[in-house]
Amino acid sequence: MFKKAVTRVTGQARGLNRNFKNAASISGTFGVCCLTALLWGSPLSAETSAQLKVSTWGGAYKISQEKAFFAPFSEKTGTKLAVSTHDKPLDLLKKWKESGTDSNDLIDLSSFEAEQACDAGYLLSLNEDEIAKGANGERIETDFMSNSLIDCAVPSVAWSALMVVKNGTFKKKKPRSWTDFFNIKKFPGKRSMKKSARYSLETALLASGVKAEDLYFNLSTIEGQKRAFQKLTSLKDNIVWWETSSDAIKNLKQSETVMGLAFNGRLFNSIIGDGLDVTLIWQGQLYDLDYWAIPSNAKNRSGALAFINFATAPKQLAEQSKWMPYGPMRVSSLKFIGKHNIANIHMAPYLPTTKAHFQRAIKFNEGFWESAKGKELEDRFKAWLDGSLSWPVKGEKQAK
């Protein structure tokens, strides 16, 4: 069985709310051309004669998988694929398991969902020797990026939320970290942030000097929460809140903000499609990833494993990054990263998992936010927004 390399709080995260996966097109003139090219030919769809049934996310993400994985696999092996979409994969897996009926053979899951499904017995366990080695024969423990291997699923690609700075705003010294983001005196101007405790409190703690490895422990304590809200309060009058990804981009584009937190997929869209002139700050990025897994009662298990080995082989895994800015989760895939198949620009500057970008990356923990502690923090964030936050320190248990 795989070594469980992921450090859990209550599971890991689906961090970016499928912000780019649900996008149907790339914006602007480039978007029209790109969408036309992406949709050239008939995408794979459900067929009664399909030999392999796949469930994945929709939108541009599914299209990129069709181009990078589904069509090439079908052409190479002669296997017919039936591809359907989901938005609540855990519910789907539970239904398949409890009904005892044949499920799909493959499913794409976020890291949080993959661990939850694995623990619930919804997925098949996989052995190390069943998974393709690295480009030079590397063992999977060293080729897949740190803290990504779990027993029942194989890592695929990562995306992230990160700091972005509007170019031309600061002529001399430029902001390069979350500490700079929160320094209004040194770097004046409005900041764009997601209207949620998620991301806001992580970045506040990072700006206050908390180490990445201590981030979620601090958020689980009263002292850590106070520290986060105190730091966030120092910035409160200079925050422009956003609730949708498009608003985050609009704030930057219209110069309503000089910097902000945004998702790398949406930023890529706007940089390439609309000419958004910004610098991406990868230090302190909050990333999450997706996995391929085989439901426990899948009918075509051997076919599913063959597909996983094809889609997560180092060179093939890098193919998806040529359609959208999600980074492959294998070290030996990085040398195969090339230019976008439509925009004809090199994709390395836009990917979360390149060596330069990933060395200071932080794994977003949706498991924490889905726990009782996380939900309590969201309530406290709402109270902080309207000025009614209080601290019931007495009698409240501290994290150990």
Helix (H) or strand (E) holding 284: strand 278-293
Enumerate the β-bridge partners of residue 290: 110
Enumerate the β-bridge partners of residue 286: 161, 362
pLDDT at 390: 87
- The pLDDT tens digits for 198-243 are 999 999 999 999 999 999 999 999 999 999 999 999 999 999 999 9
User: How many CA atoms, within 13 angstroms, populate the side-chain half-sphere of residue 124?
Assistant: 23
Euclidean distance between CA atoms 359 and 349, whole angstroms:
14
* Domains of the chain as residue ranges with CATH: 28-158+288-340 (3.40.190.10), 160-286+365-385 (3.40.190.10)
Euclidean distance between CA atoms 293 and 305, whole angstroms:
9
Q: How confident is the model at residue 258 (pLDDT cuts 50, 70, 90)?
A: very high
Q: How confident is the model at residue 353 (pLDDT cuts 50, 70, 90)?
A: very high
- The pLDDT tens digits for 66-88 are 999 999 999 999 999 999 999 99
- Torsion angles phi and psi, residue 280, rounded to 5: -90, 125
pLDDT at 129: 82
- The answer on pLDDT for 375 being more than 50 is yes
- The pLDDT tens digits for 12-31 are 333 333 444 444 333 333 44
- The answer on pLDDT for 270 being more than 70 is yes
| Token output for 394 | 């007495």
| Token output for 300 | 């075509």
Q: What percent of the chain has pLDDT over 90?
A: 78
pLDDT at 1: 52
CA 114 to chain CA mean position, Å: 13
Euclidean distance between CA atoms 317 and 208, whole angstroms:
37
Euclidean distance between CA atoms 148 and 107, whole angstroms:
17
Q: How confident is the model at residue 147 (pLDDT cuts 50, 70, 90)?
A: confident
Euclidean distance between CA atoms 313 and 72, whole angstroms:
13
SS3 55: strand
Enumerate the β-bridge partners of residue 53: 82
| Token output for 299 | 């009918």
Euclidean distance between CA atoms 110 and 157, whole angstroms:
10
Is residue 352 a contact partner of residue 286, using CB atoms and an 8 Å limit? no
- The pLDDT tens digits for 177-192 are 999 999 999 999 999 9
Q: What percent of the chain has pLDDT over 70?
A: 85
